[in-house]
Structure 1
Amino acid sequence: MNLVKFLIAPSLLALSLPMSSASAQEAIAFEHFTLPNGLRVVVHEDRSTPKVAVAVWYRVGAMNEPEGRSGFAHLYEHLMFNGSENHDDEWFPPLQEIGASAVNGATSLDQTYYYEIVPTGGLERVLWLESDRMGHMLGAVTQEKLDEQRSVVQNEKRTYENRPYGRMNNREMAAIFPPGHPYHDSVIGSMEDLDAASLDDVKDWFRQYYGAANAVVALAGDISADRARELVERYFGAIPAGPPTERVERWVPALDSARADTMLDDVPQVAIARDWVVPGRGTPETASLRMAAHILGRGKNSRLHTALVKEGKMATAASANYMSMAVAGVFSISVRLKEGADPEQAKRRIDEVVEEYLANGPTAEELERAKTTGHADTVRAFESIYVRAMALADGTILSDDPGAYAQAEREFAAVTADEAQDIARTWLGKPSYTLTVLPYGRYQVSAETVDRSAMPGLSPSPDLVMPELQRATLSNGIEVNFIRKAGTQLAELAMVFDAGSAAEQHATRGILGFTTGLMDEGTQDLTANEFANQQERLGARIGHAGNLDETAFHLSSLSRELSPSIALWADYIRNPGFREEDIERERDAALSGLSQSLVNPDSIAQRVFGHLIYGEDHAYGTNLAGRGEAIRSFTREDLEAFHQAWIRPDNATIYASGDTTLAALVADLENAFGNWQAPAEAGGQKTLDPVPDPREGRVVLVDKPGAIQSIIRVGAPMPDGLSADVFELNAMNEILGGSFTARLNMNLREDKGWTYGASSYISGARGPQTFGVTTSVQTDRTADAIKEIRRELTEIRGARPVTADELALVRKGQILGLPGRLETNKALVGYLQYIRRFDRSYDWLAALPDRYNALTPESLTATAQTRLNPDAMTWVVVGDLSRIEDDVRSLGLGTLEVWDAEGQKLR
């Protein structure tokens, strides 16, 4: 489960995704109604998958917080997951056992929202739970819960601010919005205000804002409007409307003159942010401001990226963004400079790019590309019922119109060059703020008819039905695996090569990422700009991804443009340009990324841990020292040789899913790849040798002076991904640390409040895998957290063995969530890749219920006894050694060394 909250979110979908009117209306046909108590309900029916997305939104956010209570809306959101009067327990277990997914909540400046995706048979349980915390919350809120979640939120704040550039956003918002403006304070708040929050504040907040008339329930998926009305009336109809809430009027403050600040932070690159306060959502200016952000700063073909990164060679990244919110909007430009670049020169170049746009506006080609790309983005996003539910709720809560997205998309599609120029000139011609970060109604209540003494059970769920898998072979031997998914208007393809980072075993480490990164910069016949233009013209997305074992090149295409998109994809894979100017630009970006990773404590911990597990010589190994020298050494000949050794037809498999037929797909693929022949030279080689089990514990400390948190990683090598007990190993890990409700997170976050999250994982490699635990904790609890982690690793082996209840929760969550696992084309392609990588049969997913049902608490405890040895674990801790070293040494975890961020032993 994703624990990250969007601290400052633009209105979720209606104004962040440009859409063509026809496509979006086809995607979201809805009905809406209002209960007598004022609760608004929106329903979108889609019977294609037996699940329902549930979104419950409240019109209350950080903008509603009184002075001295910043962060309160977000703190209350956390409390909503800690139980209600009739379910005074953790929120997640009853949802996990019915197979719910995407369970979370978030707070923005304008609203707070909660959401779940559940199998159809579990809908009543979710509505019971959501209505219980809407209407029956006060009696369950205690001082103990408030203190616990206050600590969790404060650790979340530390987590964000401990990252490079983590304090910029708060600084910018406080500068552009004056005191008293509802957007002046950050969503997460200040430590002092969080400390000041009282139990009475919590209860007053609930009474004021969590009434039915201030909320929206959106349901999308396997449900009719009539059934939705019946269920929502049953569960929510008796909840009081709550007091009237005042709407905050639009307030777009203006700066009298340009302002600039400089902030010092522990960052590797100079960062420049430039902000204008502009009109927000639902205004005549919205569409043109979105257009300006797209053309000026979206993607590698944007004006800012071209001017500062490609041509100016002074930055590694340059972008623009428009946040459209209820009271006002923010138009932002963000630039990260190369080492040694002059910030003042970069600011002058930003001025020139903006001034040129204001003087001449966008070109016809830029307008067309932006609209086509927006259309393609929308089709992809709205394939998910979750996105549809959130869009409907967003429009209802902030615009009083579930279909607000349709008006927004019509306006974006209708933007003309003159309108875009005029509105940009009006607002971006005003004074701006620059931050430079330098290194260092009357309602009735129906009668209560719900029995709240017992939570609803789960009605029967359908079995997973596997779609038909079709196969073919191109004339050059490339195997094609295809699943037809009609009606999506999309196709998703992946060409997968048996490479991955393991392909660097006998090469210079880092060359894979350097090679694939440069492939994004164009082909032999298309420059980077031309390649980006072609993708935008087709509405296609082309890119790469990889893991330890495989390297994949992906294509996401509109079905109507599949033939030319495949042709462009083939050119990208087969004929990379590897131009010298692109190589130098990628080299600069890679070196900047390396510099940033050397000051990012999470990156340091990850690299050092991987190095300790695998070493340098193993195929999965990493080198810590010399990475900069390697990046500086790569030549065009090196890249061409690596590409020829690994990116070749005799090492490739194609996986595809989408709204086409196998015959049409194979014809397009044959035209694009059929004449591609393997080089005469042998391909690359890699060997996945086993990794010996460590005989004793080992600890490596890395100093991060002044760090407010310590990053902790601990683990050990595991057998390969094809081993007989890998299924049991993953099931055991789910109980130990693989979910929100697992032992590690419930201990360190929910019980102790020392961290924002703690988890464990099995790395999922085909060869030797890794078991790992990862968390970041407040500095003064570093040694205590290590002791608790070690205790959990020890107790699951027998002192506190796996219980029947824990196994039942995992079993239910995994089995009941199966019908939704293959919802999208991307999910289907990913599944095909997965089963090939691990030698699974196609029906492996459908057979999972039998495998889960065969597990026993004893078998999982035995797996923990066999695979986990707390006395022979490898520990990595990155933090302020002046405050933590002595305490960690006293734990006696094993031999202890102090390293620097590049792997050099200091003592």
Structure 2
Amino acid sequence: MKKFAVLASVSPCALLLCALAVPAQAQVAPATLAKSVDIPYQEFTLKNGLRVIVHTDRKAPVVAVSVWYDVGSKHEPKGKTGFAHLFEHLMFNGSENAPGDFFGPMKEVGATDMNGTTYFDRTNYFETVPVSALDRTLFLESDRMGHLTGAITQAVLDEQRGVVQNEKRQGDNQPYGLSSYHQLDALFPAGHPYGHDTIGSMADLDAASLATVKGWFVDHYGPNNAVLVLAGDIDAAQARPLVEKYFGAIQAGAKSPRVTAPVPTLPAAVNETINDRVAEVRIERSWVVPGLSSDDAVALDVAAGVLGGLSSSRLKTALVREEKLASSVDASNSTFAQLGLFSVEMNVRQGVDPAAALKRLDAIVADFLRTGPTADEVQRYVARSVSGRISGLESVGGFGGKAVTLAEGALYENDPAHYKKELTTLAGETPASVKAAATRWLTRPAYTLTTVPGARAAYEEAQVPKAATVAPAPEPAPKNTRGPIPGIGAAAPLSFPAVQRTKLSNGIELVYAQRSAVPLTRAVVSFDAGVAADVPNKLGTQQLTLSMLQEGTTSKNSVQIAEATERLGATLGTGASLDRTFVSIAAPSPNVQPAFDLLADVTRHPAFAPAEVARVKNVQLARIGQELTNPSALGARVLPKMLYGAGNPYAKSFGSGDPKAVAALTRDDLVGWSQAWLRPEKAKIFVVSDRPLAEVKAALDRSFGDWRGTGAAGVKAANAASTPSAAKIVLIDRPDSPQSVILGGLPTGLNGSDELLAVNTANDALGGSFTGRLNMDLREDKHWSYGVYGIFQRSAGAAPYVISAPVQANRTGESVAALRSDMQAFTSTRPITDAEFQQTIAEATRSLPGDFETSSAVLQAMQTNDLYRRPDDYYATLAQKYRAMTKAELDAAARKALDPNKLFWVVVGDAKTVRPQLDSLGLPVEVIPAASVAGAN
């Protein structure tokens, strides 16, 4: 196997060959981009079989630690579905020499991008930590690899089983949330390793015993069944002694055998229809296709993109844009180690015959299989895909960074550099190769699932375990055999890039920072508008206007805009916060000038063609319909008016709008809003790029410098006198909900432009982190929820406190009571403890380098500082501010801001189950049907 030399002084361009620095006016070819991707690495293997891969990236004083185990749901035998995922959770609950949960000691080191995931082929754990914390991190990872079973008690098993079952309920509670179970059951024969969902069944999770769970660990989590990747400010010479020290003594264990997982073909087409509480008919058509090792997998990626994945794709163009048979359509190819799933998914527009829509979809797919893609379609997909890969590889860790890329190749293909083969194959795809692969696999019989509006079938619930007649004797605490958990070295300072400000020739302010890790430019045109500028009694005007920007300009139609974006390898987007409206683009820096030209065209010259307005309006109405079936979206449509008071501009935060108002919007409404708010006087442009400021400014001047506003500028209304809701409960009745979504609202009297550092830091111990009391109580202690958080919902003119708690339906009332009790204790009888204070300050200071590793994080920070009127070097001064804080200061800030007696609640759940629970809480309860929420403004 080829080894790539790693030098101690790797340049910031370590990811890519710096030869990519071509003139900005030239458009880089996708194949050139693909060939430039390079992640140099070294590797070694311990005597116990642990494979270790090291990549050096010196851009920040952090190291990504990623441990991948060769065990996933495909390894689960009948009766043990969900075991791999259950064990992912158990391995966060402490080990023999590091009792307690994994999050506490990692929080102290300032870990970022910390998580674990399970899927068909693997279980992985990852965190990005300061270099000074690497000893502690490796100790903890090695302890749960080699010293775990003694820490798994019946109480720990019961706790994490409950958390996993609530994770399952949370997914199942979504519209269309049961479709994947039907898909896998139909596509795979009984007993096929890929034939069941990773989350498992309630019955199998119920049946998991302490003995079987411990046996599962012994069978799958040895060092010789794992890959460890270290990526960041480290090299192999530094890494080897550390890995030997912490992992070398762990005994080799069993190794997962490669399961037999042939690609099945259905003997005949299968069609199934199910009912769900959804707004639109959804048709999903699926095939099982080859996996990662097959070249056909890449060709099928291209086929999916051309068919339905790209914005310019054939299905989107025909079914959504031109013929208006669907409100949305997508195609995807999900590639796993041994096989994949190719799917086409269409939401049929209301009033359209689903059979007619499906017939047309089939005709488009058949035409694609007959003729294949064009060369331009292939190249557009390649450009977008490679650009996306480059963007993701700016991170050393996380869900898609360099450590993940190397680990995946090593585990699945025995080649950490397998990504190079994928990119080479991708760059070499032709219309003929894509057509051949698509014909091979998509002409086979398919499984088609149609989900229609209606009452769901009875839900498979977990069973309450029978109480033991004799309480089991407590298990003896394991003896510490490895000494204390290592300490942490001195925290490295944050090197936040210098922010420069200048102006374009027409006066638009440019706020710029340089980051050279990857040849990528990110730009945001930010307008002083936002939800607060939406039109009273016409809520949804802003969103429809923004949706129209990419649907045609005076020189390009929607397909031409999509094609131009894809050729550049760019990502073009729009969005809004409560205070600001955004148009953004990210593109490889060699394409910066045409990217800025495209950004300027959609921002400055929207056509608002009447036919397109009518079409996009219908899409937005369909989205509103979806929101009215989604539990979290239902709550979010009711909460703002209660939180801010009806007359407050922020109360207009109302999902995708009022359906009656949106239906009545005209082209003139959109033109008027655009001219009033999307204008140069209200704009600032924020850019993070590897290109120098002078070059970026010149490019923006060519695109935006001659822009002048038309007509009168919009003026935001002053806050009208309004009163937030009194303490009460609003119950939104959503039948057949296995979970309830609880939202708590608390007006605080704070503004986002205030200095909120103290109160936000205090909240870390209450609701702002995984280890916050709200989450630890309802998730870890009571295991009634998959995750609970509370945040200050910050905007320029307000900062109310909002709690989000999805909980199992039969614990809804108790959960509200627990949240109220936790809030009361935090502000009175049990303020921040010394341990919480020290842990919070340690995390806040040590996490800063990891928090701002990527250009997207820097770009967001620049906008946040500007909105809240903070100095551009605000984050560079944060560590000093944190270290100067006292516990008394945080206690006082929390008591002043948080009055639990003013909490009100929005609960989305099944009223027949939930109402009796809520009636016992001593607050007035108002029940409203989900259908009535549409007019809640």
- TM-score of the pair, normalised by structure 1: 0.94
Q: Secondary structure at the match of 2:575?
A: strand
Alignment of 1:438-837 (within 5 A): 438-440=452-454, 452-504=482-534, 506=536, 508-622=538-652, 627-688=658-719, 692=723, 696-722=726-752, 724=754, 726-837=756-867
- 2:907 aligned with 1:896, yes or no? no
Does the 8 Å contact 1:721/1:838 carry over to 2? no
Following the alignment from structure 2 to structure 1, what is the Cα–Cα distance between the partners of residues 653 and 647? 9
Q: Give yes or no for contact 1:689–1:768 (8 Å, CA) kept in 2.
A: no
The residue aligned with 2:14 is none
Measured in 2, the distance between the counterparts of 1:180 and 1:204 equals 21
Q: Please state how far the C-alpha of 1:539 moved relative to its aligned partner.
A: 1.2
- Measured after TM superposition, the shift of residue 652 of structure 1 is 0.6
Distance 1:286 1:689 in 2: 58
Deviates more, 1:537-546 or 1:787-796: 537-546
Match of 2:423 in 1: 409
Segments of 5+ residues of structure 2 without an aligned counterpart are 1-28, 455-479
Worse-superposed segment, 666-675 or 744-753: 666-675
For the aligned residue pairs, the C-alpha RMSD in angstroms reads 1.9
How far apart, CA to CA, are the structure 2 residues paired with 1:590 and 1:805?
48
Q: Which amino acid aligns with 2:116?
A: G
SS in 2 for 1:769: coil
Residue of structure 2 in register with 1:3 after alignment: none
Which of 107, 111, 124 is the aligned partner of 2:135?
124
Moved more, 251-260 or 415-424: 415-424
Q: Are the structure 2 counterparts of residues 122 and 784 from structure 1 closer, same or farther at C-alpha, using a change threshold of 3 Å?
A: same
Summarize the alignment of residues 206-245 of structure 1 with structure 2, pairs less than 5 Å apart.
206-245=217-256
Query: What percent identity do the matched residue pairs reach?
Result: 40
Task: Report the residue type matching 2:667 in the other structure.
Answer: R
2:639–2:906 contact (8 Å) kept in structure 1: yes
Q: Does 1:375 align with 2:404?
A: no
The 5 Å alignment of 1:169-318 reads 169-318=180-329
For structure 1, the residue ranges without an aligned partner over 5 or more in a row are 1-17, 441-449
- Deviation of 1:807 (Å): 1.3
Deviations 1:153-175 (A, max 9, x none): 11111111111000011110111
Q: Deviations over 1:133-158 (max 9, x none)?
A: 00001111111110111111111111
How far off is 1:284 after superposition? 3.0
- Superposed CA offset, 1:34-58 (max 9, x none): 1111111111100111101111000
Deviations 1:528-554 (A, max 9, x none): 000011111111111112210001111
- Among 880, 883, 886, the alignment partner of 2:910 is 880
What is the alpha-carbon distance in structure 1 between the residues aligned to residue 714 and residue 298 of structure 2?
A: 51
Partner of 1:66 in structure 2?
77
3-state SS of 2:800 partner: strand
Structure 1's 107 and 204: CA in aligned 2 closer, same or farther, altered over 3 A? same
Deviations 1:465-495 (A, max 9, x none): 2322222111211011111223521111111
Report the secondary structure of 1:274's partner residue.
strand
Indicate the residue corresponding to 2:19 in structure 1. none
Which digits, 9 at most, give the CA deviation of each residue in 1:521-579, with x for residues without a partner? 12111000000111111111111122100011111011111111111110111011211
Does the aligned pair in 1 maintain the 2:753–2:869 contact within 8 Å?
Answer: no
Is contact 1:53–1:116 with CA below 8 Å preserved after alignment? yes
User: Would you say the 8 A contact 1:19–1:374 is kept in 2?
Assistant: no
SS of residue paired to 2:279:
coil
Please tell me whether residue 56 in structure 1 is matched to residue 77 in structure 2.
no
Distance 1:242 1:231, change over 3 A: same
How far off its partner does 1:250 sit? 4.0
User: Residues 36-185 of structure 1 correspond to what in structure 2 (within 5 A)?
Assistant: 36-185=47-196
Q: Report the more deviating stretch, 464-473 or 429-438.
A: 464-473
Question: Residue 677 of structure 1: SS of its match in structure 2?
Answer: coil
Q: Partner of 1:549: helix, strand, or coil?
A: coil
State the distance in 2 between where 1:393 and 1:560 align: 30
1:777-805 residue CA offsets vs partner (Å, 9 max, x unmatched): 11111111111001011001121111111
Displacement, 1:813?
A: 0.8
**Matched letter for residue 928 of structure 2:** W
Partner of 2:8: none
Which shifted more, 782-791 or 413-422?
A: 413-422
Q: Is the 2:640–2:653 contact (alpha carbons within 8 Å) kept by the matching residues of 1? A: no
Return the letter of the residue paired with 1:676: W
Q: Is the 8 A contact 1:615 1:622 kept in 2?
A: no
Superposed displacement of residue 225, structure 1: 1.0
Report Cα offsets for 1:311-359 as digits up to 9, x if no partner: 2201111111111112221111111111122111122112111111111
Separation (CA, whole Å) in 2 of partners of 1:858 and 1:24: 56
Report how many aligned residue pairs link the two structures: 878
Contact kept, 8 Å, 1:267 with 1:596, in 2: the verdict is: yes
- 1:597 positional shift: 1.1
Q: Could you list the per-position Cα deviations for residues 407-432 of structure 1 after superposition, in whole angstroms to 9, with x for gaps in the alignment?
A: 11111111121111112111111111
* Paired residue secondary structure (2:346): strand
1:429 matched to 2:443? yes
The letter for the 2-side match of 1:109 is F
- Following superposition, the deviation at residue 645 of structure 1 comes to 0.4
Give the AA of the match of 1:404: H
Within the candidate set 26, 41, 55, 1:30 is matched to 41
Give the C-alpha shift of residue 278 in structure 1: 1.2
Task: Letter of the 2:211 partner, please give it.
Answer: D
Segment drifting more, 685-694 vs 742-751: 685-694
Q: 1:724 to 1:365 in 2, by over 3 A?
A: closer
User: CA 1:23–1:231 in 2, change beyond 3 Å: closer, same or farther?
Assistant: farther
Residues 755-783 of structure 1, C-alpha deviation per residue, up to 9 Å, x if partnerless?
Answer: 11111011111112220111111111111
Matching residue's letter, 1:472: T
* Aligned residues of 1:321 and 1:332 also touching (Cα < 8 A): yes
Q: C-alpha deviations, 1:252-303, integer Å up to 9, x for none? A: 1111111110011111110111011111111131221111111111132111
Give the 3 Å change call, closer, same or farther, for CA 294–699 of structure 1 in structure 2. Answer: same
SS for the counterpart of 1:620 is helix
- What is the one-letter code of the residue matched to 2:403? A
The one-letter amino acid of 1:899's match is I
Q: Distance in 2 between matches of 1:723 and 1:494?
A: 21
Give, as a single letter, the amino acid of the residue that structure 1 aligns with 2:629: V
Q: Tell me the CA shift for residue 904 of structure 1.
A: 9.0
Letter in 1 for 2:103: F
Q: Tell me how far apart the structure 1 counterparts of residues 860 and 294 of structure 2 sit (CA, whole Å).
A: 40
